[in-house]
Amino acid sequence: MTGLPVLVAGGGIGGLAAAVSLARKGIPSLVLERNAAFDEIGAGIQLGPNALAVLDAIGAGARVRERLIPVGHLEIRDALDGRALVRLDLRGAFRERYRAGYGVIHRGDLLRALHESCLESPLVALAVNAEAVDWEERPDRVEVRTADGRRLQGRCVIAADGLHSRFRQAIAGDGEPVPSGHATYRCLIPADRMPAASRVDGAVLWAGPDCHLVHYPLKDRAVYNAVVTVNDGSADTARGEAVPDEEVRARFDRIGAGAAAFLSAGTGWRRWTLRDREPVATWTKGRAALLGDAAHPMLQYAAQGACMAIEDAAALAGHLAAQEDPQAALDGYAAARRERTARVQRLSRWMAAEVYHPAGTAAKRRDAMLLGLSEERLLDHLAWLYTPFGGIA
Ligand SMILES: Cc1cc2nc3c(=O)[nH]c(=O)nc-3n(C[C@H](O)[C@H](O)[C@H](O)COP(=O)(O)OP(=O)(O)OC[C@H]3O[C@@H](n4cnc5c(N)ncnc54)[C@H](O)[C@@H]3O)c2cc1C
């Protein structure tokens, strides 16, 4: 192998996790981030045991766990009448089966933990204000061009440049992400403003009709992360614009008193529209490969987009360490990751349609399905998802 670094385009959760994973395997990398800092806007993120186990394995687990809230349960409630449809205790049988546990964390804290792990390693170089524009193949390397005219040499390039990946167009060529018709509003609610029924040490997921509301504690439980989504056909390109509180309340005018009490505690909402893509077979081109949302953007309903990016990162490092030829290693990585991530993309759409947004008879069908699930069967259903890499190393 040459001494050239792996070039990573994008310093989000996926890109930084890739750099940490590569360093763990003794492989140098250079992360190019177009923004002026490695930072995340937005609020919380749920981390399943599959991602936490991988973070432990790549050596970032302790830093993440310093900031993680290991919530006690996951709960799906009917947004009309407040009934609990499913309640999964995350401590007892769950913890016995998934030793890495389940937690929630502020996105900025997760990124900081990964950033600190990068800074600690002499094998990771980080560049901000470095927008990767394209790459050219050379016989023994790649050359990545940045917007300010730099030409950087690497053994290969990993496109971790997110949902609107520029590199994806050159690799998969499948156009723009697909609008889901769903708009999401997010804010943080101080714990003392949360209604008592929602001030719980768990992730609460309110279901339908045509809407989905989520809250869980963050920042030492001082605030609650609120993420509320409505299926209103939105197809604009909102990315975090501030909106009046009244707009949010008006959008959720069909929910019951319990969900409405939580919603009305929120102020300072911001709005995003949600997009994903169909799974694609093509993740690589020569010495370039996609990772994270660039490879498999998914709706947020399974809370697994970042978890899959973290799994990708460790899988990528494993293949690059095991295989001398970078192109063959990238092809091996893509082959190992495609099927699992496609399944999670499809699961996320299914959860939107069948679990979180149904109304009327479809909601009754959902209720019957969820209320009939024993804890053991639920844990069995989740095994493929919550076992790192689906159990295939
Ligand atoms: C409402 C919502 C809730 C979610 N909740 C969860 C959850 O609970 N659990 C979970 O696992 N996932 C969740 N996700 C998904 C998760 O946020 C994403 O899957 C994850 O952030 C993807 O990380 P990434 O690094 O691939 O992409 P990004 O986070 O988009 O990072 C891409 C980075 O690349 C940079 N960049 C872009 N283009 C270039 C370029 N040309 N050159 C250099 N840098 C570039 C960007 O500035 C950015 O820093 C949620 C998503 C949404 C929308």
Which CATH number goes with the domain that contains 126? 3.50.50.60
Q: What is the pLDDT of residues 142-163, one digit of tens each?
A: 999 999 999 999 999 999 999 9
Question: Does some domain include residue 79?
Answer: no
Distance CA 334, CA 291 (A): 9
Tell whether 235 is covered by a domain: no
Q: What is the CA radius of gyration of the chain?
A: 21
- Please tell me the total count of domains within the chain: 1
Alpha helices, H only, 121-218: 166-171
What was the pLDDT predicted at 40?
Answer: 74
Would 75 be classed as within a structural domain?
no
Q: What separation in angstroms does the CA of 347 have from each of 107, 214, 301, 354?
A: 23, 18, 8, 10
Is 284 near ligand 1, meaning CB less than 6 Å away?
no
* 315 in a structural domain: yes
Residue 367 lies in a domain: no
**Which of 291, 300, 348 has most ligand 1 atoms within 8 Å of its beta carbon, as the pocket-test mutant?**
300
The structure tokens 């998969």 sit at: 172
Per-residue pLDDT of the chain (393 residues), as tens digits, is 458 999 999 999 999 999 999 999 999 999 999 999 988 776 899 999 999 999 999 999 999 999 999 999 999 999 999 999 999 999 999 999 999 999 999 999 999 999 999 999 999 999 999 999 999 999 999 999 999 999 999 999 999 999 999 999 999 999 999 999 999 999 999 999 999 999 999 999 999 899 999 999 999 999 999 999 999 999 999 999 999 999 999 999 999 999 999 999 999 999 999 999 999 999 999 999 999 999 999 999 999 999 999 999 999 999 999 999 999 999 999 999 999 999 999 999 999 999 999 999 999 999 999 998 999 999 999 999 999 998 765
Does residue 52's CB lie within 6 angstroms of at least one atom of ligand 1? no
| 148 alpha carbon – ligand 1 mean position (Å) | 23
Residue 21 forms part of a structural domain: yes
Ligand 1 touching residue 164 (CB < 6 A): no
Q: Which of 32, 161, 341 to mutate to test ligand 1, by most ligand atoms within 8 A of the CB atom?
A: 161
Distance between CA atoms of 157 and 142, rounded to whole angstroms? 7
The CB density around residue 84, as the number of other CB atoms within 10 Å, is: 13
Please state, as a whole number, how many other Cβ atoms lie within 10 Å of the Cβ of residue 239.
12
Q: In this structure, is residue 260 part of a structural domain?
A: no
* Closest protein CA for atom 41 of ligand 1: 132
Is 294 within the bounds of a domain? yes
List C-alpha distances in Å: 153 to 12, 138, 144, 162, 172: 21, 10, 7, 22, 23
For residue 63, give the H/E element and its range: helix 61-67
Give the residue numbers spanning the domain of 50: 6-68+107-176+278-353
